[in-house]
Amino acid sequence: MKYLVKTLWVGIIIGMVLTVIFIGIEYFSNGNVEIGSDFWTDVAYNLLYSIVLTLVNSSYFDYINKKIDWKKYGKYRLVTGALGSVILTMIAIFWLRMLIKIGFEGYSWDTFIANEKSIYYLFALMITVVVTVFFHAVYFYRSLQDKKVKEQKIIAGTASAKFDALKNQLDPHFLFNSLNVLTSLIEEDPGQAQKFTTSLSKVYRYVLEQKNKDLVTVDEELQFARTYVRLLKMRFEDSIVFVIPDNSSNPEAKIVPLSLQLLLENAVKHNVVTSNKPLRIEVFEKEDTLIIRNNLQEKQVIKKSSGVGLRNIQQRYSILSDRTVQITKTDKEFMVALPMLTRQLNMKETQKTYIMDKRYQKAKERVDAIKGFYGNLTSYCLVIPFLIWLNVRFSSFPWVIFPALGWGIGLLLHGMEAYGYNPLWGRNWQEKKMRELMENDDF
């Protein structure tokens, strides 16, 4: 309903703008504009055309935007949008002209068909194309702004995402259990204990080396995963079956660091691992993803898994790429597909850079709002005097008061919003209230 009302208002505004343009053209062509019943009839017809064509094209573009992705099928979307808009516009114009001529003006069908000219449709189509191009330009501008806002959100989330990644790289329970295993091995098998200590030191050295990196090569992660599984095998012996390739098919392919370790740890943590029910973990490549798959034999636990590890990996990927981590769970197996990336994005923003970017974004939004207000004010100062002149010259009824007053109120509200002033709570009340809530420990 809200979308329909908004579209109707857009159609009305377009109709009013076109009416003003047509009046201006007629005046400069003939030197005179007659305000009578025919004039208001033409105004009503202009509004009817603009509202219907706006509804038709807006609904069509909204529909294909949901069906066709601009990023994947940009050219196809452009051609489909243009052809569909032309066809629907021609059909709508024909039905509108038939409604006006036959329904309102009493023409017969034969007379209506005989008097139809291609110029009518061509002229209406040209106007529709101009308006459509304008709204597409606005759409792409907003998309660009949304992309910039998304980039700012990515910058904002980088620090916290990396912090969460560091917190969850190695589960404290893993370290605790590893030390317990080491203690028992020292008494039972000192040689095995020495191997265990060596593998454990390699694990932590890798963590320290890779913790500040955004991406590492798949080969590095595969090598680390083999070291990590050696620790698990010392603990679970033959209860874990691990299948992993020696190298990646693409030496340049990269994934987020320690993602394999988190997934291996999750598999052990959430599944039964016994000699009777061995846990089988497979790592393999499929197309441009690295698949980690294990048989599903979930532990019967009361507390549900928090999913922190998976969210951690997904969040780090969302920072670095548009490609997403795919998670598949069936009755028999659990599978995670990690995208293998070939281009590393530079995400070394510091907290100071983030603050500066946020300030810049906020200042830019305020400047854009003020520019929009001045554009609105300029339009008001140009259009309203022209309407006053039309009113004085061609009508004794002061109809110009209504657009001048209505637009003026909207202009006043626009200016107050642009400069951050609220008549009830004063200037910058929103920022003050947010600061107050942020400083409140009970909030």
- Is-above-0.75 flag for pTM? no
Q: What average pLDDT does the structure give for the chain?
A: 75
In sequence order, what DSSP letters do the residues of 214-249 get, joined into one string?
S-EEHHHHHHHHHHHHHHHHHHHGGGEEEE--SS-S
Q: Is 103 found in the same domain as 199?
A: no
Consecutive H or E run containing 200: helix 190-210
Q: Is 323 found in the same domain as 387?
A: no
Q: Is residue 346 assigned to a domain?
A: no
Q: Is the pLDDT of residue 280 over 90?
A: yes
For tokens 């790429």, what's the residue?
Answer: 321
Consecutive H or E run containing 426: strand 426-427
Per-residue model confidence as pLDDT tens digits over 76-122: 777 887 788 888 888 888 888 888 888 888 888 888 888 888 787 78
Long-range pairs, 132-141, Cβ under 8 A, ≥24: 132/57, 132/61, 132/85
- Cβ distance 179 to 251 under 8 Å? no
Query: pLDDT at position 344, please?
Result: 46
For residue 200, the domain's CATH number is 3.30.565
Q: Is 204 found in the same domain as 90?
A: no
Domain limit, last residue, from 312, 339, 366: 339
Q: Is 378 found in the same domain as 296?
A: no
Query: pLDDT at position 190, please?
Result: 79
DSSP state of 298: B
For range 256-268, the mean pLDDT: 85
Query: pLDDT at position 334, please?
Result: 93
Q: Is residue 292 assigned to a domain?
A: yes
| DSSP strand pairing (254-255 vs 289-295) | unpaired
Q: How many domains does the chain have?
A: 3
Quote the CA–CA distance of 155 and 97 in Å, as a whole number.
54
Q: From the DSSP assignment, how many helices (H) and strands (E) are in the chain?
A: 13, 9
Asked which of 99-113, 229-243, 401-415, 423-437 is least confident by mean pLDDT, the reply is: 423-437
Q: Is 173 found in the same domain as 144?
A: no
Q: Is 77 found in the same domain as 189?
A: no
Half-sphere exposure of 373 (CA within 13 A, CB side): 18
- Cβ distance 417 to 369 under 8 Å? yes
pLDDT tier at 211, thresholds 50, 70, 90: low
Q: Is 248 found in the same domain as 268?
A: yes
For tokens 């080969």, what's the residue?
Answer: 219
Domain extent at residue 103: 1-156
Spell 152-188 as b/e; 16+ CB within 10 A means b.
Answer: bebbebbeebbebbeebbbbeebeeebeebbeebeee
Side-by-side strand order, sheet with 279-286: 240-243, 279-286, 289-295, 333-339, 326-329
Asked which of 112-121, 264-273, 350-359 is least confident by mean pLDDT, the reply is: 350-359
Q: Is 377 found in the same domain as 432?
A: yes
